Amino acid sequence: MVTRFSSISTRKLPKALSTLISDKCMVVLSDYNDFHKTVKRHIIKNVLGPNAQKRHRGHRDTMIANIVKDFHAHVKNNGIQPVNFRNVFQSELFGLAMKETVGSDVQSIYVEELGRLSKHEIFGILFKDLVEAALDVDWREFFPYLNWIPNKTLERRIEKLIFRRQAVMMALIKEQSKRVTSEEEMNCYLNYLLREGKELTEKQIAMLLWEVILLASDTTMVTSEWAMFELAKNPKLQDRLYQEVQIICGSDKITEEMLCQLPYLEAVFHETLRKYPPIPIPFLRFAHEDTEIGGYYIPAGTEIAINFYGCNMDENQWEKPEEWNPDRFLDKKYDRNDMNKTMAFGGGKRACTGYQQAMLIACTAIGRLVQEFEWRLEDGEEENVDIVGIINQKLHPMHSIIRPRN
């Protein structure tokens, strides 16, 4: 992935997915070409690079504060009734994604073609429905010579989803374009692309904005949910993390600046990514030229699946890989600054551009939630380890009993 990326960075996508993403009009699913290089420069400069992340700091702090507030409100209103972690976390994460892309956590919007939509409905149209559709299997993919047979039900469903996404994105763009005067609203991807992305069409801008909404709304939540699940399941390890946070932060709330002093928290993050990589097998690639990988000759046209999950469960590489054990990452052999301790973020030139955002949000949230509350699993929850979808999501959202520490 590192040295051969230029030969193996062409994506092999199912037809339905290719249609959904307007024929690879995204950084993450485009081939390695000039379009990719241009739009990757844009996303780094305005959203995901270190300077952009500094500019978005306020949004992350607000997000964490809101999550903590929501959990306290749950305790106040429902006592020891279990809380659905995902409901709280995902809504706030989606709000952050909207701020980064269109400048505000839109609570409702009027869309000419669809009427007035709530935040929840916008989330459904821009995220949930499309993620579910990406999983739809078109049986014709397995029999390419039968491609001439129509699959009208699937095609109509995809057309409808694209229509709805496009209508909402256009309404968001129109609404936001009216408010380009305020300083805070200038700091969003939409305004940046309107200013700097002169080579892009309106449709491409809509797709690039949607890409950030899609990528920012999920993988970080998936990692945080699995980490909280394991901590709630293992009170001793949770206590160890709490003690570490107490020693470093005392009575202060944990902040991003403190993360570098919290090695156990960092180990919790990496161990979660190892055991539950949010992208266990990235979308297939194919070699567009003859190449050689790991001593094997790979002829042009070969499809390549990279199994991160398999690598992270390899007994030759990891002792007792099925155990969730953050301690393994405290070993001196791991460089503290190396984000690639596991394969979770990919590798080489196509490695994840959003790792810094993911790490800052997940680590601060996990640390702060353990600092504020004691987490226990609801009876029977321990068994709920099934996963669903292409992003290794917990099939059953985690339900946990939380008790404020003070």
By CB under 6 A, tell whether 346 contacts ligand HEM: yes
**Residues of span 183-242 touching ligand HEM by CB under 6 A:** 212, 215-216, 219-220, 223
User: Within 13 Å and on the Cβ side, how many CA atoms surround 354?
Assistant: 21
> What stretches of 228-311 adopt beta strand conformation (E)?
285-286, 291-293, 296-298, 303-304
Piece in contact with ligand HEM (CB under 6 A), picked from 61-69, 121-129, 250-258, 279-287: 279-287
Closer CB to ligand HEM, 32 or 401, in the complex: 32
Output the smallest distance, CB 156 to ligand HEM, in A: 30
Closer CB to ligand HEM, 162 or 390, in the complex: 390
Closer CB to ligand HEM, 187 or 219, in the complex: 219
Beta-carbon contacts of 332 under 8 Å, excluding residues fewer than 6 positions away, are none
Task: Write phi, then psi, for 92 (nearest 5 degrees).
Answer: -70, -35
Q: Specify whether the CB–CB gap between 189 and 46 falls below 8 A.
A: yes
Nearest to ligand HEM by Cβ — which residue? 354
Q: Specify whether the CB–CB gap between 124 and 259 falls below 8 A.
A: no
Piece in contact with ligand HEM (CB under 6 A), picked from 57-65, 81-89, 200-208, 351-359: 351-359
Hey, is 299 helix, strand or coil?
coil
Binding footprint of ligand HEM, residue count (CB under 6 A): 24
Residue 70, CA distances (Å) to 73, 323, 403 in order: 5, 32, 13
By CB under 6 A, tell whether 360 contacts ligand HEM: no
* 8-state DSSP, 399: E
Task: Write phi, then psi, for 376 (nearest 5 degrees).
Answer: -135, 150
**Residues of span 48-77 touching ligand HEM by CB under 6 A:** 48
Structure tokens at 234: 């293992």
By CB under 6 A, tell whether 326 contacts ligand HEM: no
By CB under 6 A, tell whether 350 contacts ligand HEM: yes
13: number of Cβ within 10 Å: 17
β-bridge mates for residue 108, sequence order = 118
Residue 363, marked binder: no
Closer CB to ligand HEM, 283 or 318, in the complex: 283
Closest CA relative to residue 15, chosen from 165, 133, 163: 133
Query: What is the C-alpha to C-alpha distance for residues 160 and 144, in angstroms, rounded to an integer?
Result: 24
Closer CB to ligand HEM, 24 or 233, in the complex: 24
Hey, is 401 helix, strand or coil?
strand
Piece in contact with ligand HEM (CB under 6 A), picked from 162-170, 328-336, 342-350, 377-385: 342-350
Closer CB to ligand HEM, 111 or 213, in the complex: 213
By CB under 6 A, tell whether 109 contacts ligand HEM: no
By CB under 6 A, tell whether 352 contacts ligand HEM: yes
Q: Specify whether the CB–CB gap between 21 and 35 falls below 8 A.
A: no
By CB under 6 A, tell whether 398 contacts ligand HEM: no
Q: Specify whether the CB–CB gap between 155 and 67 falls below 8 A.
A: no
Beta-carbon contacts of 247 under 8 Å, excluding residues fewer than 6 positions away, are none
Binding test (CB under 6 A) with ligand HEM, winner from 20, 88, 265, 344: 344
By CB under 6 A, tell whether 98 contacts ligand HEM: no
- Which residue in this structure is represented by tokens 């790991």? 294
> What stretches of 319-398 adopt beta strand conformation (E)?
373-377, 387-388, 393-394
**Residues of span 281-310 touching ligand HEM by CB under 6 A:** 282-283
Closer CB to ligand HEM, 173 or 366, in the complex: 366
Binding mask 30-49 for ligand HEM (x = CB under 6 A): ----------x--x----x-
By CB under 6 A, tell whether 272 contacts ligand HEM: no
Output the smallest distance, CB 189 to ligand HEM, in A: 10
Output the smallest distance, CB 110 to ligand HEM, in A: 27
Closest CA relative to residue 154, chosen from 345, 20, 9: 20
Structure tokens at 380: 């029977």
| Interacting residue ranges for ligand HEM, rule: CB under 6 A | 27-28, 40, 43, 48, 212, 215-216, 219-220, 223, 278-279, 282-283, 344-346, 350, 352-354, 357-358
Binding residues for heme, by number, are 352
